[in-house]
């Protein structure tokens, strides 16, 4: 089995990618009336599921304000400083966040839960927002190959450039552009 060199993680704002979304959805079965659907599989858009999900929402969808994004940036920096992994690339946008993390011995799913928890607490402390911040779950892929690593790095950097900022706008990012020094 190939060695994991890192992870691409995507966190979406609460309520912005619901079950039934036109882009597809990863939701597990949750409605007896609509039947079971296979978990961990991308399912096509379904307007009935989307409507039901919207009706069940208790809190409005969350788009990160500038103040909320700044809280996330600060907290990611302190989390990375206290960890055995580094954030090599990041794009913190109003609707979602991309992270490229180096390998860790820790359970990556628990690490992502910890990041979501820490950033949510920071937002609650530092802004007026007191509701949920992130959607349930996350999108996480393991990176095994250098080509995939470099393509993911460029993909995240392009997200930043499209927003009109530098490809590497955050001070907490691993500084070297040389892949070998970051993995």
pLDDT tens digits, one per residue of 72-113: 999 999 999 999 999 999 999 999 999 999 999 999 999 999
Q: Are residues 48 and 70 in the same domain?
A: no
Question: Which DSSP string do the residues of 21-81 spell out, in sequence order?
Answer: -TT-B-PPP-BTTTB---TTS-B---HHHHHHHHHH-SS------HHHHHHHHHHHHHHHH
Predicted local confidence at residue 178, as pLDDT: 45
- pLDDT for residue 84: 94
Is there a single domain that holds both residue 105 and residue 155?
Answer: yes
| Residue numbers of the domain that contains 77 | 6-12+63-173
76 and 155 in a single domain? The answer is yes
Q: In the β-sheet with 87-92, what is the strand arrangement from edge to edge?
A: 87-92, 96-102, 6-12, 139-143
Residue-level pLDDT at 61: 86
pLDDT in the model for residue 92:
97
Give the residue carrying structure tokens 């993911």: 152
pLDDT at 153: 96
Residue 181 included in any domain: no
The pLDDT score that the predictor gives to residue 35 is: 55
Same domain, 162 and 114: yes
Which CATH number covers residue 120? 3.30.70.1290
Residues 69, 136: one domain? yes
What is the total count of domains within the chain? Answer: 2
Pairwise CA distance, residues 178 & 180, whole Å? 6
> Model-level pTM?
0.81
Would residue 182 count as lying in a domain?
no
> Which residues of the chain, if any, have pLDDT below 70?
17-45, 50, 175-183
């Amino acid at each position: 089995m190939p060695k994991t060199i890192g992870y691409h993680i995507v966190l979406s704002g609460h309520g912005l990618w619901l079950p039934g979304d036109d882009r597809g959805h990863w939701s597990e079965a949750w409605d007896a009336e609509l039947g079971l659907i296979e978990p961990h599989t991308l399912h096509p858009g379904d307007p009935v599921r989307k409507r039901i999900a919207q009706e069940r929402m208790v809190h409005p969808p969350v788009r990160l304000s500038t103040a909320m994004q700044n809280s996330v940036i600060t907290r990611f920096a302190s989390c990375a400083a206290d960890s055995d992994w580094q954030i090599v690339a990041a794009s913190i946008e109003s609707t979602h966040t991309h992270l490229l993390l180096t390998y860790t011995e820790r359970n990556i799913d628990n690490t992502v839960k910890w990041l979501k928890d820490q950033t949510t607490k920071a937002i609650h402390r530092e802004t007026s927002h007191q509701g949920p911040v992130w959607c349930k779950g996350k999108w996480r892929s393991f990176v095994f190959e250098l080509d995939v690593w470099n393509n993911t790095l460029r993909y995240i950097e392009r997200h930043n450039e499209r927003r009109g900022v530098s490809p590497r706008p955050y001070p907490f990012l691993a500084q070297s552009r040389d892949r070998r020094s970051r993995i």
